[in-house]
Amino acid sequence: MSEEKEPLNFIEQIIEEDLKETHKKEDLCFRFPPEPNGYLHIGHASSICLNFGLGLTYDAPVNLRFDDTNPAKEEQRFVDAIKRDVAWLGYTWENELYASDYFQELYDWAVQLIKDGKAYVDSQTSEAMREQKGTPTEVGSNSPFRDRSVEENLALFEQMKSGEAPEGAHVLRAKIDMASTNMLMRDPVMYRTLHKHHHRTGTDWKIFPMYDWTHGESDYLEQVSHSFCTLEFKPHRELYDWFLDQIHDPKKIRPKQREFARRNLSHTVVSKRKLARLVEDGVVQSWDDPRMPTISGLRRRGYTAASIRNFANGIGVGKRDNLIDVSRLEFSIREDLNKTADRVMAVLNPVKVVITNYPEGETEWLDAENNQGDETAGFRKVPFSREIYIEKEDFREEANKKFFRLKLGKEVRLKNAYIIKAESCIKDENGEVTEIHCTYDPDSRSGSGSEASMRKVKGTLHWVSIKDALEIEVRLYDRLFTVASPDTDKEKDFMEFVNPNSLEVITGYAEPSLKERKVEEKMQFQRLGYFVVDKDTTADKMVFNKTVGLRDSWAKIDQ
Protein backbone atom coordinates (compact mmCIF):
# COMPACT_ATOMS: atom_id res chain seq x y z
CA MET A 1 0.00 0.00 0.00
CA SER A 2 1.68 3.19 -1.11
CA GLU A 3 0.05 5.86 0.94
CA GLU A 4 0.98 9.09 2.66
CA LYS A 5 3.26 8.50 5.63
CA GLU A 6 5.30 10.60 7.99
CA PRO A 7 9.04 10.13 7.28
CA LEU A 8 10.11 8.42 10.53
CA ASN A 9 7.84 8.94 13.49
CA PHE A 10 8.94 8.67 17.11
CA ILE A 11 7.49 5.16 17.36
CA GLU A 12 9.60 4.01 14.42
CA GLN A 13 12.59 5.72 16.00
CA ILE A 14 12.07 3.63 19.15
CA ILE A 15 12.04 0.47 17.05
CA GLU A 16 15.09 1.52 15.05
CA GLU A 17 17.01 2.13 18.30
CA ASP A 18 15.98 -1.28 19.63
CA LEU A 19 17.04 -2.94 16.39
CA LYS A 20 20.48 -1.41 16.85
CA GLU A 21 20.82 -2.33 20.50
CA THR A 22 18.59 -5.09 21.82
CA HIS A 23 16.34 -6.65 19.21
CA LYS A 24 16.78 -8.65 16.04
CA LYS A 25 14.39 -8.01 13.18
CA GLU A 26 12.73 -11.39 13.70
CA ASP A 27 12.03 -10.45 17.34
CA LEU A 28 9.56 -7.78 16.27
CA CYS A 29 5.91 -8.52 16.92
CA PHE A 30 2.96 -6.14 17.40
CA ARG A 31 -0.67 -6.38 18.35
CA PHE A 32 -3.91 -4.46 18.11
CA PRO A 33 -5.89 -5.12 21.34
CA PRO A 34 -9.53 -3.99 21.18
CA GLU A 35 -12.05 -4.69 23.91
CA PRO A 36 -15.15 -6.23 22.25
CA ASN A 37 -17.55 -3.86 24.01
CA GLY A 38 -18.58 -1.90 20.91
CA TYR A 39 -17.70 -1.15 17.31
CA LEU A 40 -14.35 0.25 16.27
CA HIS A 41 -14.25 3.99 15.65
CA ILE A 42 -12.05 6.40 13.75
CA GLY A 43 -9.75 6.73 16.80
CA HIS A 44 -9.08 3.00 16.60
CA ALA A 45 -8.20 3.43 12.95
CA SER A 46 -5.11 5.35 14.12
CA SER A 47 -4.04 2.48 16.32
CA ILE A 48 -4.83 -0.11 13.62
CA CYS A 49 -2.90 1.78 10.96
CA LEU A 50 -0.01 2.28 13.37
CA ASN A 51 0.31 -1.34 14.46
CA PHE A 52 -0.50 -3.04 11.17
CA GLY A 53 1.51 -0.39 9.34
CA LEU A 54 4.56 -1.29 11.47
CA GLY A 55 3.91 -4.93 10.64
CA LEU A 56 4.14 -4.10 6.95
CA THR A 57 7.16 -1.82 7.35
CA TYR A 58 9.16 -4.38 9.34
CA ASP A 59 7.60 -7.49 7.85
CA ALA A 60 6.62 -8.49 11.38
CA PRO A 61 3.53 -10.34 12.65
CA VAL A 62 0.62 -8.36 14.10
CA ASN A 63 -1.89 -10.12 16.31
CA LEU A 64 -5.52 -9.19 16.69
CA ARG A 65 -6.03 -9.69 20.39
CA PHE A 66 -9.40 -9.25 22.02
CA ASP A 67 -9.04 -7.82 25.47
CA ASP A 68 -12.07 -9.70 26.79
CA THR A 69 -11.84 -9.65 30.56
CA ASN A 70 -15.15 -8.00 31.41
CA PRO A 71 -18.12 -10.30 30.68
CA ALA A 72 -20.55 -7.60 31.81
CA LYS A 73 -19.83 -5.48 28.72
CA GLU A 74 -18.46 -7.74 26.01
CA GLU A 75 -20.33 -9.59 23.30
CA GLN A 76 -19.66 -11.93 20.40
CA ARG A 77 -21.37 -9.58 17.93
CA PHE A 78 -18.74 -6.95 18.76
CA VAL A 79 -15.96 -9.47 18.15
CA ASP A 80 -17.49 -10.17 14.72
CA ALA A 81 -17.86 -6.48 13.89
CA ILE A 82 -14.26 -5.72 14.90
CA LYS A 83 -12.88 -8.53 12.72
CA ARG A 84 -14.97 -7.37 9.78
CA ASP A 85 -13.79 -3.77 10.16
CA VAL A 86 -10.07 -4.53 10.50
CA ALA A 87 -10.24 -6.81 7.45
CA TRP A 88 -12.19 -4.21 5.49
CA LEU A 89 -9.53 -1.61 6.32
CA GLY A 90 -7.21 -3.89 4.38
CA TYR A 91 -5.15 -5.52 7.11
CA THR A 92 -4.37 -9.16 7.83
CA TRP A 93 -3.62 -10.33 11.35
CA GLU A 94 -1.16 -13.10 12.09
CA ASN A 95 -3.29 -14.68 14.84
CA GLU A 96 -6.74 -14.09 16.24
CA LEU A 97 -6.24 -14.25 19.99
CA TYR A 98 -8.18 -13.61 23.16
CA ALA A 99 -7.02 -12.55 26.59
CA SER A 100 -9.55 -15.10 27.86
CA ASP A 101 -7.36 -17.81 26.28
CA TYR A 102 -4.79 -16.94 28.94
CA PHE A 103 -7.04 -17.18 32.00
CA GLN A 104 -5.38 -20.41 33.13
CA GLU A 105 -1.80 -19.08 32.79
CA LEU A 106 -2.76 -15.85 34.50
CA TYR A 107 -4.35 -17.77 37.32
CA ASP A 108 -1.31 -20.02 37.75
CA TRP A 109 0.97 -17.00 37.92
CA ALA A 110 -1.35 -15.33 40.43
CA VAL A 111 -1.14 -18.42 42.66
CA GLN A 112 2.65 -18.20 42.40
CA LEU A 113 2.53 -14.54 43.42
CA ILE A 114 0.46 -15.47 46.48
CA LYS A 115 2.98 -18.16 47.39
CA ASP A 116 5.80 -15.65 46.98
CA GLY A 117 4.03 -13.26 49.35
CA LYS A 118 3.42 -10.76 46.55
CA ALA A 119 -0.35 -10.93 46.39
CA TYR A 120 -3.13 -11.16 48.95
CA VAL A 121 -6.88 -11.44 49.19
CA ASP A 122 -8.56 -8.31 50.49
CA SER A 123 -12.07 -8.66 51.93
CA GLN A 124 -12.91 -5.02 52.51
CA THR A 125 -15.56 -2.98 50.78
CA SER A 126 -14.40 -1.00 47.77
CA GLU A 127 -15.13 2.23 49.74
CA ALA A 128 -12.78 1.17 52.52
CA MET A 129 -10.08 0.35 49.99
CA ARG A 130 -10.56 3.69 48.29
CA GLU A 131 -10.17 5.54 51.58
CA GLN A 132 -6.93 3.72 52.37
CA LYS A 133 -5.52 4.51 48.95
CA GLY A 134 -4.51 8.05 49.99
CA THR A 135 -4.06 10.84 47.48
CA PRO A 136 -1.20 11.81 45.17
CA THR A 137 0.17 14.01 47.98
CA GLU A 138 -0.70 11.70 50.87
CA VAL A 139 0.52 8.16 51.37
CA GLY A 140 -2.03 5.35 51.63
CA SER A 141 -2.44 2.95 54.52
CA ASN A 142 -2.21 -0.81 54.55
CA SER A 143 -5.27 -3.00 54.41
CA PRO A 144 -5.95 -4.96 57.61
CA PHE A 145 -5.88 -8.08 55.38
CA ARG A 146 -2.48 -7.30 53.87
CA ASP A 147 -0.63 -9.75 56.08
CA ARG A 148 -2.88 -12.75 55.70
CA SER A 149 -0.97 -16.02 55.62
CA VAL A 150 -0.19 -17.69 52.31
CA GLU A 151 -2.50 -20.59 53.24
CA GLU A 152 -5.41 -18.31 54.03
CA ASN A 153 -4.86 -16.36 50.82
CA LEU A 154 -4.75 -19.53 48.74
CA ALA A 155 -7.93 -20.83 50.36
CA LEU A 156 -9.80 -17.58 49.83
CA PHE A 157 -8.57 -17.23 46.23
CA GLU A 158 -9.85 -20.74 45.62
CA GLN A 159 -13.26 -19.73 47.00
CA MET A 160 -13.25 -16.74 44.67
CA LYS A 161 -12.41 -18.99 41.75
CA SER A 162 -14.97 -21.70 42.48
CA GLY A 163 -17.78 -19.23 42.96
CA GLU A 164 -18.24 -20.26 46.59
CA ALA A 165 -17.47 -16.70 47.68
CA PRO A 166 -20.27 -14.29 46.74
CA GLU A 167 -19.62 -11.78 43.97
CA GLY A 168 -17.78 -8.77 45.36
CA ALA A 169 -16.80 -10.38 48.68
CA HIS A 170 -13.06 -10.40 47.96
CA VAL A 171 -10.47 -9.16 45.50
CA LEU A 172 -6.91 -10.29 44.91
CA ARG A 173 -4.38 -7.45 45.22
CA ALA A 174 -0.72 -7.21 44.37
CA LYS A 175 1.37 -6.39 47.44
CA ILE A 176 3.51 -3.52 46.21
CA ASP A 177 3.72 -0.22 48.07
CA MET A 178 0.93 1.82 49.65
CA ALA A 179 3.30 4.79 49.83
CA SER A 180 4.31 4.80 46.17
CA THR A 181 4.16 8.18 44.43
CA ASN A 182 2.38 6.34 41.62
CA MET A 183 -1.15 5.70 42.87
CA LEU A 184 -1.44 2.71 40.54
CA MET A 185 1.32 0.97 42.49
CA ARG A 186 -0.60 1.14 45.76
CA ASP A 187 -1.58 -2.52 45.91
CA PRO A 188 -3.57 -2.65 42.66
CA VAL A 189 -6.43 -5.10 42.26
CA MET A 190 -5.47 -8.10 40.09
CA TYR A 191 -8.75 -10.05 40.18
CA ARG A 192 -12.38 -9.45 40.93
CA THR A 193 -15.23 -11.94 41.03
CA LEU A 194 -18.06 -11.71 38.52
CA HIS A 195 -20.74 -14.36 38.34
CA LYS A 196 -21.64 -13.52 34.77
CA HIS A 197 -21.70 -15.41 31.52
CA HIS A 198 -18.61 -14.73 29.39
CA HIS A 199 -19.04 -14.85 25.61
CA ARG A 200 -16.22 -17.37 25.27
CA THR A 201 -15.56 -19.02 28.62
CA GLY A 202 -19.22 -19.29 29.60
CA THR A 203 -19.48 -19.88 33.34
CA ASP A 204 -16.08 -21.65 33.69
CA TRP A 205 -14.47 -18.64 35.32
CA LYS A 206 -15.84 -16.64 38.21
CA ILE A 207 -12.68 -14.58 38.64
CA PHE A 208 -11.67 -12.09 35.99
CA PRO A 209 -8.23 -10.46 35.73
CA MET A 210 -7.97 -6.67 35.66
CA TYR A 211 -6.52 -4.79 32.66
CA ASP A 212 -3.07 -4.21 34.16
CA TRP A 213 -2.59 -7.80 35.20
CA THR A 214 -3.83 -9.06 31.85
CA HIS A 215 -2.29 -6.80 29.27
CA GLY A 216 1.43 -7.13 29.85
CA GLU A 217 1.19 -10.86 30.56
CA SER A 218 -0.79 -11.38 27.34
CA ASP A 219 1.89 -9.41 25.46
CA TYR A 220 4.50 -11.64 27.08
CA LEU A 221 2.68 -14.87 26.24
CA GLU A 222 2.41 -13.77 22.62
CA GLN A 223 6.01 -12.50 22.67
CA VAL A 224 4.92 -9.09 21.49
CA SER A 225 8.04 -6.93 21.33
CA HIS A 226 6.40 -3.49 21.36
CA SER A 227 3.05 -2.83 22.95
CA PHE A 228 1.75 0.56 21.84
CA CYS A 229 -1.08 2.13 23.73
CA THR A 230 -2.56 5.57 24.22
CA LEU A 231 -1.11 8.18 26.56
CA GLU A 232 -3.50 7.67 29.45
CA PHE A 233 -1.66 4.39 30.07
CA LYS A 234 1.67 6.09 30.66
CA PRO A 235 1.33 5.94 34.48
CA HIS A 236 0.44 2.24 34.07
CA ARG A 237 3.83 1.50 32.56
CA GLU A 238 5.50 1.11 35.97
CA LEU A 239 2.91 -1.50 36.92
CA TYR A 240 3.16 -3.20 33.53
CA ASP A 241 6.88 -3.57 34.22
CA TRP A 242 6.40 -4.70 37.83
CA PHE A 243 4.09 -7.49 36.77
CA LEU A 244 6.51 -8.57 34.04
CA ASP A 245 9.36 -8.59 36.60
CA GLN A 246 7.45 -11.27 38.53
CA ILE A 247 7.16 -13.71 35.65
CA HIS A 248 9.76 -12.83 33.04
CA ASP A 249 12.14 -15.48 31.83
CA PRO A 250 15.29 -13.63 30.69
CA LYS A 251 15.68 -15.94 27.70
CA LYS A 252 12.42 -14.60 26.29
CA ILE A 253 11.45 -11.32 24.68
CA ARG A 254 10.38 -8.79 27.25
CA PRO A 255 7.52 -6.67 25.87
CA LYS A 256 7.88 -2.92 26.04
CA GLN A 257 4.95 -0.59 26.56
CA ARG A 258 5.21 2.76 24.80
CA GLU A 259 2.55 5.42 24.47
CA PHE A 260 1.23 7.64 21.70
CA ALA A 261 -1.43 10.32 21.68
CA ARG A 262 -5.11 9.59 21.33
CA ARG A 263 -6.69 11.02 18.19
CA ASN A 264 -9.98 12.76 18.67
CA LEU A 265 -12.23 13.96 15.89
CA SER A 266 -14.23 17.17 16.05
CA HIS A 267 -18.05 17.29 16.15
CA THR A 268 -18.28 13.73 17.38
CA VAL A 269 -17.25 11.45 20.24
CA VAL A 270 -14.70 8.67 19.93
CA SER A 271 -15.40 6.40 22.85
CA LYS A 272 -17.24 3.12 22.56
CA ARG A 273 -19.04 3.79 25.81
CA LYS A 274 -20.41 7.10 24.57
CA LEU A 275 -21.23 5.75 21.13
CA ALA A 276 -23.14 2.96 22.87
CA ARG A 277 -25.31 5.61 24.53
CA LEU A 278 -26.16 7.16 21.17
CA VAL A 279 -27.36 3.75 20.01
CA GLU A 280 -29.16 2.84 23.24
CA ASP A 281 -30.94 6.21 23.47
CA GLY A 282 -32.03 6.04 19.84
CA VAL A 283 -30.14 9.17 18.74
CA VAL A 284 -28.87 7.02 15.86
CA GLN A 285 -30.34 3.82 14.44
CA SER A 286 -27.40 1.51 14.99
CA TRP A 287 -23.66 1.24 15.41
CA ASP A 288 -23.28 1.47 11.64
CA ASP A 289 -25.57 4.48 11.25
CA PRO A 290 -23.89 6.67 8.60
CA ARG A 291 -23.65 9.51 11.12
CA MET A 292 -21.51 7.45 13.49
CA PRO A 293 -17.71 7.89 13.54
CA THR A 294 -17.43 4.10 13.63
CA ILE A 295 -15.54 2.32 10.85
CA SER A 296 -18.81 0.58 9.91
CA GLY A 297 -20.72 3.88 9.93
CA LEU A 298 -18.11 5.60 7.78
CA ARG A 299 -18.15 2.67 5.40
CA ARG A 300 -21.91 2.90 5.06
CA ARG A 301 -21.61 6.66 4.64
CA GLY A 302 -19.48 5.99 1.56
CA TYR A 303 -15.94 6.25 2.91
CA THR A 304 -13.39 3.96 1.29
CA ALA A 305 -10.84 2.00 3.29
CA ALA A 306 -8.07 3.88 1.45
CA SER A 307 -9.48 7.25 2.50
CA ILE A 308 -9.53 6.19 6.16
CA ARG A 309 -5.99 4.80 5.98
CA ASN A 310 -4.79 7.98 4.28
CA PHE A 311 -6.46 10.08 6.93
CA ALA A 312 -4.94 8.08 9.79
CA ASN A 313 -1.48 7.85 8.27
CA GLY A 314 -1.60 11.50 7.24
CA ILE A 315 -2.12 12.71 10.80
CA GLY A 316 0.45 10.19 11.98
CA VAL A 317 1.34 9.46 15.59
CA GLY A 318 1.92 12.20 18.10
CA LYS A 319 2.98 12.72 21.69
CA ARG A 320 0.14 15.03 22.66
CA ASP A 321 -3.59 14.40 22.43
CA ASN A 322 -5.28 16.59 19.88
CA LEU A 323 -8.55 17.27 18.18
CA ILE A 324 -8.53 16.71 14.44
CA ASP A 325 -11.12 18.71 12.53
CA VAL A 326 -13.63 16.46 10.78
CA SER A 327 -13.08 18.49 7.60
CA ARG A 328 -9.74 16.71 7.33
CA LEU A 329 -11.49 13.37 7.15
CA GLU A 330 -13.92 14.78 4.61
CA PHE A 331 -11.03 16.08 2.54
CA SER A 332 -9.58 12.60 2.46
CA ILE A 333 -12.71 10.94 1.03
CA ARG A 334 -13.36 13.78 -1.40
CA GLU A 335 -9.86 13.40 -2.76
CA ASP A 336 -10.32 9.67 -3.24
CA LEU A 337 -13.80 9.81 -4.80
CA ASN A 338 -12.85 12.68 -7.08
CA LYS A 339 -10.49 10.25 -8.80
CA THR A 340 -12.62 7.15 -8.75
CA ALA A 341 -16.34 7.96 -8.66
CA ASP A 342 -18.50 7.98 -11.78
CA ARG A 343 -20.39 11.18 -12.50
CA VAL A 344 -24.14 10.80 -12.81
CA MET A 345 -27.15 13.11 -12.75
CA ALA A 346 -29.82 13.35 -10.08
CA VAL A 347 -32.09 16.22 -9.09
CA LEU A 348 -32.87 16.52 -5.40
CA ASN A 349 -35.08 19.60 -5.24
CA PRO A 350 -36.91 19.51 -8.56
CA VAL A 351 -38.84 21.97 -10.67
CA LYS A 352 -40.39 20.92 -13.98
CA VAL A 353 -39.07 22.27 -17.26
CA VAL A 354 -41.08 21.86 -20.48
CA ILE A 355 -39.13 22.23 -23.71
CA THR A 356 -41.92 23.52 -25.88
CA ASN A 357 -40.27 23.01 -29.28
CA TYR A 358 -39.17 19.42 -28.52
CA PRO A 359 -41.42 16.74 -30.06
CA GLU A 360 -43.92 15.21 -27.68
CA GLY A 361 -43.46 11.53 -26.86
CA GLU A 362 -39.89 11.39 -28.19
CA THR A 363 -36.89 10.10 -26.22
CA GLU A 364 -33.28 10.47 -27.29
CA TRP A 365 -30.48 8.48 -25.64
CA LEU A 366 -27.48 10.74 -25.33
CA ASP A 367 -23.86 9.83 -24.64
CA ALA A 368 -22.64 10.91 -21.22
CA GLU A 369 -19.07 10.63 -19.99
CA ASN A 370 -18.72 8.74 -16.73
CA ASN A 371 -15.76 10.77 -15.55
CA GLN A 372 -14.42 13.75 -17.49
CA GLY A 373 -11.12 13.45 -15.66
CA ASP A 374 -10.66 9.79 -16.59
CA GLU A 375 -11.02 8.65 -20.20
CA THR A 376 -10.96 5.01 -19.20
CA ALA A 377 -14.18 5.44 -17.21
CA GLY A 378 -16.19 5.27 -20.46
CA PHE A 379 -19.66 6.42 -21.43
CA ARG A 380 -23.25 5.66 -20.60
CA LYS A 381 -26.56 6.64 -22.18
CA VAL A 382 -28.95 9.13 -20.60
CA PRO A 383 -32.49 9.72 -21.89
CA PHE A 384 -33.59 13.19 -22.95
CA SER A 385 -37.21 14.20 -23.53
CA ARG A 386 -39.61 17.14 -23.63
CA GLU A 387 -40.13 17.32 -19.85
CA ILE A 388 -37.21 17.39 -17.49
CA TYR A 389 -36.41 18.29 -13.88
CA ILE A 390 -33.77 20.77 -12.88
CA GLU A 391 -32.95 22.01 -9.39
CA LYS A 392 -35.25 24.77 -8.13
CA GLU A 393 -32.26 26.88 -7.12
CA ASP A 394 -30.99 26.78 -10.70
CA PHE A 395 -33.78 29.03 -11.95
CA ARG A 396 -34.65 32.66 -11.27
CA GLU A 397 -37.02 34.87 -13.13
CA GLU A 398 -34.54 37.69 -12.83
CA ALA A 399 -31.03 37.76 -11.52
CA ASN A 400 -27.85 39.76 -11.79
CA LYS A 401 -24.97 38.99 -14.14
CA LYS A 402 -23.24 36.71 -11.67
CA PHE A 403 -26.11 34.21 -11.75
CA PHE A 404 -24.84 31.78 -14.42
CA ARG A 405 -27.82 29.52 -14.18
CA LEU A 406 -31.21 29.70 -15.89
CA LYS A 407 -33.13 33.01 -15.98
CA LEU A 408 -35.88 34.30 -18.22
CA GLY A 409 -34.68 35.23 -21.68
CA LYS A 410 -31.22 33.65 -21.15
CA GLU A 411 -29.54 30.42 -22.17
CA VAL A 412 -27.79 27.60 -20.32
CA ARG A 413 -26.40 24.28 -21.43
CA LEU A 414 -27.94 21.09 -20.13
CA LYS A 415 -25.05 18.75 -19.28
CA ASN A 416 -24.45 16.19 -22.05
CA ALA A 417 -27.44 17.60 -23.98
CA TYR A 418 -28.69 20.84 -25.54
CA ILE A 419 -28.67 24.57 -24.96
CA ILE A 420 -32.04 25.77 -23.70
CA LYS A 421 -33.50 29.24 -23.23
CA ALA A 422 -36.11 30.15 -20.60
CA GLU A 423 -39.14 31.80 -22.18
CA SER A 424 -41.73 31.93 -19.40
CA CYS A 425 -42.77 30.34 -16.12
CA ILE A 426 -45.93 29.36 -14.27
CA LYS A 427 -46.34 30.14 -10.57
CA ASP A 428 -48.72 28.92 -7.90
CA GLU A 429 -50.83 31.14 -5.61
CA ASN A 430 -47.81 31.63 -3.30
CA GLY A 431 -45.71 32.94 -6.13
CA GLU A 432 -43.59 29.80 -6.28
CA VAL A 433 -42.45 28.67 -9.70
CA THR A 434 -44.02 25.32 -10.62
CA GLU A 435 -43.14 25.04 -14.28
CA ILE A 436 -40.64 26.67 -16.60
CA HIS A 437 -41.17 26.86 -20.33
CA CYS A 438 -38.06 26.76 -22.46
CA THR A 439 -37.06 26.33 -26.07
CA TYR A 440 -34.02 24.35 -27.15
CA ASP A 441 -31.54 24.75 -29.98
CA PRO A 442 -31.74 21.41 -31.89
CA ASP A 443 -28.26 21.96 -33.38
CA SER A 444 -26.53 22.39 -30.04
CA ARG A 445 -26.27 18.76 -28.86
CA SER A 446 -23.04 18.19 -26.88
CA GLY A 447 -20.47 16.22 -28.78
CA SER A 448 -22.28 16.54 -32.13
CA GLY A 449 -19.43 18.62 -33.52
CA SER A 450 -21.78 21.24 -34.94
CA GLU A 451 -21.01 24.92 -34.62
CA ALA A 452 -23.92 25.34 -32.22
CA SER A 453 -22.59 22.53 -30.03
CA MET A 454 -19.38 24.51 -29.53
CA ARG A 455 -21.21 27.69 -28.65
CA LYS A 456 -20.11 29.02 -25.29
CA VAL A 457 -22.85 29.66 -22.76
CA LYS A 458 -21.96 30.53 -19.21
CA GLY A 459 -23.85 27.96 -17.17
CA THR A 460 -24.19 24.18 -17.33
CA LEU A 461 -26.96 22.47 -15.38
CA HIS A 462 -27.64 18.87 -14.47
CA TRP A 463 -31.12 17.56 -15.23
CA VAL A 464 -33.21 14.39 -15.43
CA SER A 465 -35.86 13.34 -17.97
CA ILE A 466 -39.10 13.12 -15.98
CA LYS A 467 -40.68 10.12 -17.64
CA ASP A 468 -37.50 8.06 -17.32
CA ALA A 469 -36.52 9.28 -13.87
CA LEU A 470 -35.84 6.86 -11.06
CA GLU A 471 -37.43 7.97 -7.82
CA ILE A 472 -34.88 7.53 -5.06
CA GLU A 473 -34.69 8.08 -1.32
CA VAL A 474 -31.80 10.31 -0.37
CA ARG A 475 -30.47 10.67 3.15
CA LEU A 476 -28.64 13.88 3.85
CA TYR A 477 -26.50 14.18 6.94
CA ASP A 478 -25.34 16.98 9.11
CA ARG A 479 -22.86 16.80 11.97
CA LEU A 480 -24.01 14.69 14.87
CA PHE A 481 -23.01 17.32 17.44
CA THR A 482 -23.40 21.06 17.31
CA VAL A 483 -20.04 21.82 18.91
CA ALA A 484 -16.50 20.78 18.00
CA SER A 485 -15.75 19.10 21.30
CA PRO A 486 -18.98 17.79 22.88
CA ASP A 487 -17.35 15.71 25.61
CA THR A 488 -14.91 18.17 27.15
CA ASP A 489 -17.49 20.39 28.87
CA LYS A 490 -17.23 19.64 32.59
CA GLU A 491 -20.67 20.98 33.42
CA LYS A 492 -22.68 19.37 30.65
CA ASP A 493 -23.26 15.85 29.46
CA PHE A 494 -22.18 15.33 25.85
CA MET A 495 -25.73 14.25 24.96
CA GLU A 496 -26.86 17.85 25.42
CA PHE A 497 -24.93 18.80 22.31
CA VAL A 498 -26.59 16.32 19.97
CA ASN A 499 -27.70 18.02 16.76
CA PRO A 500 -31.44 17.27 16.45
CA ASN A 501 -31.29 17.83 12.68
CA SER A 502 -28.47 15.49 11.73
CA LEU A 503 -30.62 13.53 9.28
CA GLU A 504 -32.89 14.74 6.50
CA VAL A 505 -34.66 12.26 4.23
CA ILE A 506 -35.83 13.48 0.84
CA THR A 507 -37.06 12.07 -2.46
CA GLY A 508 -34.86 12.68 -5.46
CA TYR A 509 -35.01 11.88 -9.19
CA ALA A 510 -32.12 10.17 -10.86
CA GLU A 511 -31.16 9.09 -14.36
CA PRO A 512 -32.25 5.47 -14.94
CA SER A 513 -28.68 4.08 -15.18
CA LEU A 514 -28.54 4.21 -11.38
CA LYS A 515 -30.87 1.23 -11.23
CA GLU A 516 -27.88 -1.00 -12.01
CA ARG A 517 -25.89 0.23 -9.03
CA LYS A 518 -25.22 -2.10 -6.13
CA VAL A 519 -25.01 -1.49 -2.38
CA GLU A 520 -21.81 0.40 -1.45
CA GLU A 521 -21.26 1.68 -4.99
CA LYS A 522 -20.19 5.28 -4.89
CA MET A 523 -20.83 8.06 -7.37
CA GLN A 524 -20.83 11.77 -7.80
CA PHE A 525 -24.23 13.36 -8.34
CA GLN A 526 -22.97 16.15 -10.55
CA ARG A 527 -22.84 19.55 -8.89
CA LEU A 528 -24.26 18.09 -5.65
CA GLY A 529 -21.74 15.83 -3.98
CA TYR A 530 -20.75 12.19 -3.50
CA PHE A 531 -23.37 9.56 -2.78
CA VAL A 532 -23.40 5.85 -2.03
CA VAL A 533 -26.05 3.14 -2.36
CA ASP A 534 -27.28 2.20 1.12
CA LYS A 535 -28.01 -1.33 2.28
CA ASP A 536 -31.63 -0.33 2.99
CA THR A 537 -32.17 -0.41 -0.79
CA THR A 538 -34.96 -2.75 -1.87
CA ALA A 539 -36.24 -3.93 -5.26
CA ASP A 540 -38.83 -1.13 -5.14
CA LYS A 541 -36.78 1.71 -3.81
CA MET A 542 -33.15 2.68 -3.96
CA VAL A 543 -31.69 4.49 -0.99
CA PHE A 544 -28.64 6.75 -1.23
CA ASN A 545 -26.51 8.31 1.49
CA LYS A 546 -24.76 11.59 0.91
CA THR A 547 -21.12 10.99 1.75
CA VAL A 548 -19.81 14.53 1.44
CA GLY A 549 -20.35 17.66 -0.61
CA LEU A 550 -18.11 18.65 -3.48
CA ARG A 551 -16.36 21.25 -1.40
CA ASP A 552 -16.09 22.13 2.23
CA SER A 553 -19.31 24.05 2.83
CA TRP A 554 -18.49 24.39 6.53
CA ALA A 555 -15.32 26.36 5.99
CA LYS A 556 -17.42 29.38 5.05
CA ILE A 557 -20.03 28.95 7.76
CA ASP A 558 -17.47 28.51 10.51
CA GLN A 559 -15.70 31.79 9.76
Q: Which residues bind ligand ATP (CB under 6 A)?
A: 33-35, 43-44, 46-47, 67, 229-230, 262-264, 270-273
Rounded Cα gap, residues 476 and 534, in angstroms = 12
Q: Which stretch binds Mg ion (CB under 5 A): 32-40, 180-188, 419-427, 551-559?
A: 32-40
Please say whether the dihedral angle defined by the alpha carbons of residues 189, 191, 195 and 196, taken in this order, is positive or negative.
Answer: positive
Nearer to ligand ATP, 317 or 406 (CB): 317
Rounded Cα gap, residues 19 and 163, in angstroms = 47
Among candidate residues 272, 291, 413, 475, the one labeled active-site is 272
Task: Residue 532: name the closest of 518, 542, 549, 520 by CA.
Answer: 520
The one-letter amino acid code at 188 reads P
The nearest distance, CB 88 to ligand ATP, in angstroms, is: 17
Continuous H helices in 260-348: 272-280, 295-301, 305-315, 326-340
The one-letter amino acid code at 192 reads R
255 makes contact, choosing from Mg ion, ligand ATP, none, with CB < 5 to 8 Å by partner type, with none
Q: Which stretch binds Mg ion (CB under 5 A): 27-35, 78-86, 191-199, 240-248?
A: 27-35
327 makes contact, choosing from Mg ion, ligand ATP, none, with CB < 5 to 8 Å by partner type, with none
43 makes contact, choosing from ligand ATP, Mg ion, none, with CB < 5 to 8 Å by partner type, with ligand ATP
The nearest distance, CB 105 to ligand ATP, in angstroms, is: 21
Among candidate residues 3, 5, 6, 35, the one labeled active-site is 35
Nearer to ligand ATP, 241 or 473 (CB): 241
The nearest distance, CB 262 to ligand ATP, in angstroms, is: 4
Closest-approach residue to ligand ATP (CB): 43
47 makes contact, choosing from ligand ATP, Mg ion, none, with CB < 5 to 8 Å by partner type, with ligand ATP
Rounded Cα gap, residues 458 and 406, in angstroms = 10
Rounded Cα gap, residues 235 and 238, in angstroms = 7
Look up 262 and say whether it is catalytic. Answer: yes
Residue 357: count other Cβ atoms within 10 Å of its Cβ: 12
229 makes contact, choosing from ligand ATP, Mg ion, none, with CB < 5 to 8 Å by partner type, with ligand ATP
> Going residue by residue from 348 to 387, which x/- string records binding to Mg ion, judged by CB under 5 A?
----------------------------------------
Residue 252: count other Cβ atoms within 10 Å of its Cβ: 11
The nearest distance, CB 264 to Mg ion, in angstroms, is: 15
The nearest distance, CB 79 to ligand ATP, in angstroms, is: 12
The nearest distance, CB 482 to ligand ATP, in angstroms, is: 21
209 makes contact, choosing from ligand ATP, Mg ion, none, with CB < 5 to 8 Å by partner type, with none
Look up 335 and say whether it is catalytic. Answer: no
Asked if residue 547 lies in contact with residue 337, where contact means CB atoms within 8 angstroms, the answer is: yes
Residues with Cβ within 8 Å of 378's Cβ and at least 6 positions away in sequence, in order, are 369, 370
Rounded Cα gap, residues 201 and 204, in angstroms = 6
Look up 393 and say whether it is catalytic. Answer: no
124 makes contact, choosing from ligand ATP, Mg ion, none, with CB < 5 to 8 Å by partner type, with none
Nearer to Mg ion, 219 or 391 (CB): 219
Rounded Cα gap, residues 64 and 81, in angstroms = 13
Nearer to ligand ATP, 36 or 529 (CB): 36
Nearer to ligand ATP, 33 or 486 (CB): 33
Asked if residue 457 lies in contact with residue 420, where contact means CB atoms within 8 angstroms, the answer is: no
CA dihedral 126, 127, 131, 133 (to 10 degrees): 20
Continuous H helices in 7-102: 10-21, 42-58, 76-88
Burial 375-404 (b: 16+ CB within 10 A, else e): eeeeebebbbbbebbbbeebbbeeeeeeee
159 DSSP assignment: H
Applying the rule CB under 5 A, the residues between 34 and 53 that interact with Mg ion are: 35
The nearest distance, CB 70 to ligand ATP, in angstroms, is: 11
Which positions are annotated as active-site residues? 35, 262, 272
The footprint of Mg ion (CB under 5 A) covers: 35
